[in-house]
Amino acid sequence: MANLVIVESPSKATAIKKYLGSNYKVIASKGHVRDLPKSSLSVDVENGFEAHYINIRGKGDLIKEIRKEAKAAKKVFLAPDPDREGEAIAWHLAAALGLEPEKTLRVSFNEITPDVVRAAIKEPRAIDMNLVNAQQTRRIWDRVVGYKLSPYLWKAVKNGLSAGRVQSVAARIIVDREDEIRAFVPEEYWTIDAQLGVGEGKEFTVRFYGNESGKIKLDNEAETNKIVKAIDGKDFTVKSVKRASRQKLPAPPFTTSTMQQEASRKLGFQSQRIMRVAQELYEGIHVGTENGGVQGLITYMRTDSLRVSADAQKAARDLISEKYGEGYCPEKPRTYKTRANAQDAHEAIRPSHVDLEPAKIHKYLTPDQYRLYKLIWERFVASQMQSATLNTLSVELEAAGYLFRAGGYSVAFPGYMAVYEESEDEETRADAIHEQKDIRIPELVEGEAVALRHIEPARHYTEAPARYTEASLIKFLDEKGIGRPSTYNTIITTIVSRNYVVRDGKSLVPTPLGEVTTRLMKENFSDIVDYTFTAHMEDQLDEIEKGNVEMLDVLNPFWKGFEKELERAEETIGKGSFELPVEETDIICDKCGAKMVIKNGRYGKFAACPNYPTCRNTKPLTEKKEEPERVEKKPAPVADFKCEKCGADMVQRNGRYGSFFACSRYPECNFTKQKTKELDVLCPDCGGKVLIKTGRNKTVFYSCENYNSTPGEGCKFSSWDMPVSENCPQCGKLLFRKKGKALLVCHDKECGYKRESEETAAEKKE
């Protein structure tokens, strides 16, 4: 009788199965199996906020399958992700499957590696109800706020709108910033730069500072020209030359928040993309048999902690000493203090195996996986390295009673900067003191006279605050304690999908709908969109998780205040003006001469007369088709691998069966290679990547990346049927989707297992 391990995702199940062996069967729940139904509130606020959960539609067959396996198992290990949400999934699984408490055990993995997985299985625990209740409280809060507020939005603004507990605050943050930008009045200011010279060709630039009394702010042209006139033609005298050395400390390893900020700034990834790729790195990727096969490459990616295990520190220090030299390794391991209100259940985000350098496993990763893994690896290694030593230089010169300054630094010892440097957002860069890197100033002596070569006054205007990007919004949310790092991705995705905010490049811009809805919320439900109140609610969830506070001690006071706001809104909501601004067109109404506006109808947008109902004229909106620009033919894209025959570059070509790669020396060399896509499934025969290929008549089939038709060489896996990331419940082998049929069959023909896919079963029920 085997033990059963239930995880969330099929890819994690594949990795864990390899680590545990034949005494364990691993199956995936594919996320939550129970939730509150969408059709009703399903929370009894009058009777202790009792929540009515149901099995999620479409998961009936999966639940039956897991229940059958659980009954036959000796022990059942519930192993969803190690956080509140994962704990709640474990609790819901136990309830939905009717599991016996005495044989139901909870395990969690901070990283998906053989040692960690096996150690966790040896030390199971009971389901932590404090974690479950913290998640339940958040879920109930979100449901009550959303379902109680939405009708007011329908009444005041338009049908179909929805409000969220944290999403409404995030929308307000972006709207408030837009209001700041509109209210901003640019102020004029001036700078004066003087180009000085010492001897032949030794020139440098200094900037006006003020006089002996202090800094002088130049805010008009007349005052600036007065100073320029006084200085022009005069020599400068060196007042002071200060040289110093300072240490620059490395940044700590990533938390969820800092990873999202840095990946947004450096890689240009949106938060949703960042968390999806991080999840893939955590759950496990096949990195070649020489590197241990399937490996979880990073520790759990939802954490506030800066803590790092002693073993990970030692591994990093050994690598630093070997790769960069003893001088790059500090005397003692570096430790970083986690902030007071952080959830410290897991380590900081770091590589599970620091010896798996990004370049070493590059070929096994997708471009996104490689770039994010490289960022995490470099950040962690740098966090354990020696500080950088910077030589700083500042000079002050005087002319006609006015002072000019210049300053900068050069790198004396790179330390951690040999591996990684933290980026800055636009606001931080704008607020930074003007400082030049690798400054080039000739040797100067106090009292020395320096000739003026050129003086340049320049007019500037102060700039409005920058719009939020995903990185700067996440930073703001994190600093204010609004939401939690694990929810930032959902928050941003939600406000964009609901059209409260749109993306303009990297910037987040509120829509008219977002602005009107935010104004309604501020006037009628001020607590819900109050930064401090929302942060306090998150702190209350943390207290429930720690076992310091009960669910009802948090929910009851919240409901009393919220209920009063609902009552007041019932009386006033219809009196305010919350109409959406109309969008004008250039179309003139041919009946009354008014400019027509855009309206939304049953079949999409159309132009309507603004004088409705007096004038009922409407017209279809037709987009003008622009003539396509003629562009020069681009050179064929070059592949990231070389020709296997002659070593020349391979380039992408298009043929009758789709894209392929051909040698750039064609026709001298006729070597070609088919362009393939990877399927998110490992080969059932050798564990390599499964590739999607195109045969004759554009017929799609699947084969292993190690496929070789020569007898005795390579892998022989090839199939017309698509392998799926799900194991057979009878024999544990991979399941395949039959071509042209909605049927799943076992890879082992002797097993004979087959069943309808979930989609087909759901369609039949409907």
Query: Angle at Cα 712 formed by Cα 709 and Cα 714, nearest 5°?
Result: 60
Ranges for all domains in the chain classified under CATH 1.10.290.10: 256-383
Which of these, 442, 400, 441, lies nearest to 235 by C-alpha position?
A: 400
Q: How confident is the model at residue 709 (pLDDT cuts 50, 70, 90)?
A: low
pLDDT at residue 625 in the model: 45
pLDDT at residue 435 in the model: 53
pLDDT at residue 740 in the model: 63
Interval 652-699: pLDDT, tens: 887 655 667 888 888 778 888 776 677 778 888 777 788 877 665 556
> Mean per-residue pLDDT for 39-59?
92
In one letter, which amino acid is 401? G
| Residues designated as active site | 300
Longest Cα–Cα distance in the chain: 97
Interval 540-582: pLDDT, tens: 999 999 999 999 999 999 999 999 989 888 887 766 556 677 7
CA distance 716 to 63: 35
Please tell me the least confidently modeled range out of 195-199, 377-381, 470-474: 195-199
Ranges for all domains in the chain classified under CATH 1.10.460.10: 150-184+469-572
Q: How confident is the model at residue 615 (pLDDT cuts 50, 70, 90)?
A: very high
| Packed helices 167-183 and 488-497: angle between N→C axes, nearest 10 degrees | 70
Q: Which CATH fold would you assign to the domain 3-127?
A: Rossmann fold (3.40.50)
Ranges for all domains in the chain classified under CATH 2.70.20.10: 188-249+388-461
More confident residue, 672 or 118: 118
Q: 253 with 380: CB under 8 angstroms? A: yes
pLDDT at residue 11 in the model: 80
Q: 519 with 580: CB under 8 angstroms? A: no
Ranges for all domains in the chain classified under CATH 3.40.50.140: 3-127
According to DSSP, the β-strands at 188-198 and 449-461 are antiparallel
> Mean per-residue pLDDT for 271-295?
90
pLDDT at residue 628 in the model: 46
Whether the bond between 613 and the residue before it is cis, its omega within 30 degrees of 0, is yes
CA distance 47 to 244: 68
Whether residue 469 has pLDDT greater than 90: yes
Torsion region of 268: left, alpha or beta (phi above 0 gives left; psi -120 to 50 gives alpha): left
Long-range contacts of 182-189 (CB under 8 A, 24+ apart): 184/464, 184/465, 186/461, 186/462, 186/463, 186/464, 187/219, 187/461, 187/462, 188/219, 188/220, 188/459, 188/460, 188/461, 189/217, 189/218, 189/219, 189/459, 189/460, 189/461, 189/462
Give domain 256-383's CATH superfamily: Topoisomerase I, domain 4 (1.10.290.10)
pLDDT at residue 635 in the model: 63
pLDDT, the chain, mean = 86
Q: 703 with 691: CB under 8 angstroms? A: yes
Q: 17 with 732: CB under 8 angstroms? A: yes
Whether residue 437 has pLDDT greater than 90: no
Tokens linked to 215: 């800094």
More confident residue, 748 or 431: 748
Contacts of 596 (CB under 8 A, 6+ apart): 584, 585, 587, 588, 589, 607, 608, 609, 610, 617, 619
> Mean per-residue pLDDT for 92-112?
89
Whether residue 483 has pLDDT greater than 80: yes
pLDDT at residue 716 in the model: 81
Interval 587-612: pLDDT, tens: 999 898 899 988 866 666 789 998 88
More confident residue, 683 or 508: 508
DSSP alpha helices (H): ranges in 407-462? 426-431
Whether residue 426 has pLDDT greater than 70: no
Which of these, 748, 694, 697, 740, lies nearest to 721 by C-alpha position?
A: 740
> Mean per-residue pLDDT for 271-287?
92
Distances (CA, A) of 328 to 308, 360, 376, 638: 19, 22, 19, 38
pLDDT at residue 341 in the model: 63
Residue 349's CB: how many other CB atoms inside 10 A?
25
Q: Which CATH fold would you assign to the domain 188-249+388-461?
A: Topoisomerase I; domain 3 (2.70.20)
pLDDT at residue 634 in the model: 55
Tell me the CATH number of domain 150-184+469-572, given options 3.20.20.450, 3.20.20.70, 3.40.50.2020, 1.10.460.10: 1.10.460.10
More confident residue, 383 or 593: 383
**What burial class does residue 175 get, using C-beta atoms within 10 Å of its C-beta: 0-12 exposed, 13-18 middle, 19+ buried?**
buried
* 3-class SS of residue 11: helix
* 3-class SS of residue 575: coil
pLDDT at residue 404 in the model: 97
More confident residue, 766 or 197: 197
Backbone φ and ψ for 658, nearest 5 degrees, come out as: 110, -165
Whether residue 430 has pLDDT greater than 50: no
Whether residue 173 has pLDDT greater than 90: yes
CA distance 8 to 20: 17
